[in-house]
Amino acid sequence: MSKLYSGAEVVFKCLEDQDVEFIFGYPGGAVLPIYDELKNHSSIKHILVRHEQGAGHAAEGYARSSGKPGVVLVTSGPGATNVVTALTDAYMDSVPLVCISGQVPTHLIGTDAFQECDTTGITRPCTKHNWLVKDIKDLSKIIHEAFKVATTGRPGPVLVDIPKDIQFAKISYSKPKIQKKLNGKSLNIFSQKDIDYLIDLMNKSKKPIFYSGGGVINSGPEASESLRELVQLTGFPITSTLQGLGAYPGDDNQFLGMLGMHGTYEANNAMHDCDLLINIGARFDDRITGKIDEFSPNSKKVHIDIDPSSINKIIKVDLALVGDVNDVLKGIIKTLKSKKINLNKSNKQKISKWWEQIQKWRTKNSLNFKNSDENIKPQHAVQRLYELTKDKDTFITTEVGQHQMWAAQHYKFNKPNRWMTSGGLGTMGYGLPAAVGVQIAHPKKLVIDIAGEASVLMTMQEMSTAVQYNLPIKIFILNNQYMGMVRQWQELLHEKNYSESYSEALPDFIKLAEAYGCKGIMADKPSELEEKIKEMLQFDGPVIFDCRVDPNENCFPMIPSGKPHNQMILGPSEKEENKITGKGKALV
Amino acid sequence: MANPKSAYSVSTKKEKSDKHIIVVWVDNEAGVLARVVGLFSGRGYNIESLAVAEVDAKKNISRITIVTTGTPQVIDQIKLQLRKLVPVHKVADFKRNDKSVIFKEMALFKVVGNSNKIKKAINACKKYNAVILDKTKKSNVIQITALRREIDKMSKNLKKFGLVSVSRTGAVAMTRGDKVFN
């Protein structure tokens, strides 16, 4: 007879066979057998967080920066409910997570037992799939299936709920047959005919644009290489969503910057005026499209996405190529090359007027801001941070709000997987724990959380995690004492009634840093900024940097709600003429 | 435009809504119905009626039949979202007015009254495959199988013959001829 293992041992056997190196978790009554087993598995390191939400976001940061699934381990009841925000965040942004939760013993399920909750019920709408293991015989099959579901197709979070008695029960274990990694290739349902049609459209187009998204990142680093090759082959302009930043080099001339609500003037106008729009791994999110009726009204639209349900969900397209981004891009490049179509040359004439137009838009310099000698402007702070860190292979995470948009606008990314931000769900408090996860995956690299003072306080407790594991993360807080984006919307929509958006009694961040056992730095004059940033970068250990910025600065350019792409507000002076009225006010 | 829509707005070009019957083959496991129904409620699709039962005990497959209304775009989304659920094997979609598909619902009527009234009630039900399931001096339980609107009509008409209770199923559907949906 083969050796019998406990359920807890089977969990680790599975994790080992899935090449898991790190678990982000927090112990509790219903997962104690699994924690007890931890000591016997030296290849797996457990990272103890301070709150289960932090475990989820750390695993997201780990997954996004490494391309491997993040693993979370939490207890039943509050452990599971605390991780729900992170699961929802991962679901919205397509991040592969495997969450293992403890559950009360099977005979107590449904009795309102201590720390019992309907975990699979609660997490059903925020996971790709979840399982309640009711029989030890199913355990290993379910865990391996969970990894498969999380990582194939459009990635996302999954949850396996394991009752305590199952963790104790005994069963034999055999290694799963190694399946050839599909990486969603089974989902490729595009044909050569589609590619030929696309190339025909590209050939005819006078005003083309690529619009790339997080799908390029999720498809792996090779997809970014393919994207670069395709963009260079065609000579077309390219813009990117928030999640897609880094897939194409941010400082390249063909790159128009980010598009959407806080995107650049040139990117949004090009989207509006183009005659061919090629969406690569993005999902026509409402932050991107603005007013749907007037979204890119005169263009043929092409959509490349691995998720068939993304096609025609928001915007009807003329051609859909459902498949893994890299496979589709390679198919296009191969065809272009085999047909010896050099769009860059043949099209140059045709699209030269388009580029002239784009240059005109560019001269608006829409990311410009009035710098000051007295106050640190937040945009200036991000720009300085970029200049001082661009030669290093830097990983940036953010929280959510104005600072996030300034980071996206002013920090230029040249590689994929270097930019971790909560886009779909917009989770304040994402950045700090995500930075913890990123630093775990890349111990030697520079990891900076560009934060806001309000967001960062939501998960500040994870500084303790960073100190425990000697993670030298840098928390760069653009401190304007406001929930800045809330204040900006109140200014634009609610007659400057800054209801509850001012943070009184903020902590002294230097003392807070010291209390956690890390370094605190404060800067409030533009003249000292550079020197202080250098001090932060030179310090080998976690740092909280309190960058006191102009509290009244707003994030521009902006497409006000209710307006199409070509009606942007460029700066504070323009606000009056472009007031948001009527129904636009009701929208977020 | 007077009332600008925005970021969250959907197209103002209103498409026509149609009634569709969605048939879903799923693994018969705990929570599978919650996944399907939760998808509908979570994404704001409506369910007019629902019928579900295991159809293959060996392979453990249940067949869920859902009647819903939606624009072509919404119906497409329903199908694509359903196909993404792990326990879903296949999804079929029939338009309500599709002549190549049979739709049936079943209803039980309890009629209480004198024999004259009960007789009239039975007579009225005759064209809908009426079966008497229970009979006493004062009451009858009649089963009919018919279309939704026919049952609607009957539940209204039988009131005057002493209808006191109605119980009905959701619609089930099957294609005509020898073809099987794959």
Contacts with B35 from chain A: Cβ below 8 Å: 124
As a whole number of Å, the CA-based R_g of chain B is 20
The pLDDT-based confidence of A2 (bands split at 50, 70, 90) is confident
In angstroms, what CA-CA distances link B93 with A328, B90, B163? Answer: 29, 10, 35
Residues 6 or more apart whose Cβ sits within 8 Å of residue A338: none
Give the position of tokens 């794959």.
B182
Q: Tens of pLDDT along A445-483? A: 999 999 999 999 999 999 999 999 999 999 999 999 999
User: Quick check: A459 and A57 in contact, CB under 8 A?
Assistant: yes
Strands B88-95 and B18-27: antiparallel
Q: In angstroms, rounded to a whole number, what is the distance separating the alpha carbons of residues A368 and A386? A: 16
**Among candidates A205, A406, A410, which has minimal Cα distance to A298?**
A205
Q: In angstroms, rounded to a whole number, what is the distance separating the alpha carbons of residues B144 and B133? A: 10
In angstroms, what CA-CA distances link A174 with A33, A40, A149, A179, A454? Answer: 21, 18, 20, 14, 49
* ipTM of the shown complex: 0.89
**Among candidates A49, A176, A24, which has minimal Cα distance to A99?**
A24
**Which residue of chain A is at minimal alpha-carbon distance from B10?**
A292
Give the minimum alpha-carbon distance from B25 to chain A in angstroms, rounded to a whole number.
17
Higher pLDDT, A224 or A187: A224
On the CB side of B106, how many CA atoms lie within 13 Å of its CA?
A: 10
Instruction: State residue B2's pLDDT score.
Output: 36
Tell me the angle at which helices A192-204 and A325-338 cross, rounded to the nearest 10 degrees.
70
H-type helices in A390-508, by residue range? 402-410, 431-441, 453-456, 463-468, 484-493
Beta strand segments in A168-268, E: 170-172, 208-212, 238-240, 255-258
Q: In angstroms, rounded to a whole number, what is the distance separating the alpha carbons of residues A458 and A427? A: 10
Q: Which of B10-14, B29-33, B53-57 has the lowest mean pLDDT?
A: B10-14
- Calculate mean pLDDT across residues A141-162: 96
Which of A120, A309, A559, A579 would you mutate first to test chain B, the one with the most B CBs within 10 A?
A: A309
Residue A258 annotated among the catalytic residues of the structure: no
Cβ distance of A308 and B77 shorter than 8 Å = no
- The whole model's pTM is what? 0.94
Give the minimum alpha-carbon distance from B6 to chain A in angstroms, rounded to a whole number.
3
Q: In angstroms, rounded to a whole number, what is the distance separating the alpha carbons of residues A177 and A536? A: 49
Residues 6 or more apart whose Cβ sits within 8 Å of residue A203: A341, A343, A346, A347
**Which residue of chain B is at minimal alpha-carbon distance from A123?**
B35
Instruction: State residue A341's pLDDT score.
Output: 73
Cβ distance of A291 and B7 shorter than 8 Å = yes
Q: In angstroms, rounded to a whole number, what is the distance separating the alpha carbons of residues A160 and A134? A: 11
Instruction: State residue A217's pLDDT score.
Output: 97
Give the minimum alpha-carbon distance from B12 to chain A in angstroms, rounded to a whole number.
7
Q: Tens of pLDDT along A360-380? A: 999 999 999 999 999 999 999
In angstroms, what CA-CA distances link A386 with A398, A403, A538, A540? Answer: 14, 14, 15, 19
Token pair, residue A197, equals 């049609």
pLDDT above 70 coverage of chain A, percent: 95
Q: In angstroms, rounded to a whole number, what is the distance separating the alpha carbons of residues A221 and A306? A: 16
Strands A419-420 and A319-322: unpaired
How many Cβ atoms from other residues are within 10 Å of residue A112's Cβ? 8
CA B82 to chain centre: 17
Cβ distance of A132 and B4 shorter than 8 Å = no
Q: Is the pLDDT of residue A119 over 70?
A: yes
Instruction: State residue A515's pLDDT score.
Output: 98
Contacts with A583 from chain B: Cβ below 8 Å: 3-6, 9
Q: Tens of pLDDT along A408-447? A: 999 999 999 999 999 999 999 999 999 999 999 999 999 9
Residue A21 annotated among the catalytic residues of the structure: no
Q: Tens of pLDDT along B138-181? A: 999 999 999 999 999 999 999 999 999 999 999 999 999 998 87
Contacts with B36 from chain A: Cβ below 8 Å: none
Q: Which of A128-137, A169-178, A357-366, A392-401 has the lowest mean pLDDT?
A: A169-178
Q: Is A571 exposed, middle or buried (0-12, 13-18, 19+ CB in 10 A)?
A: middle
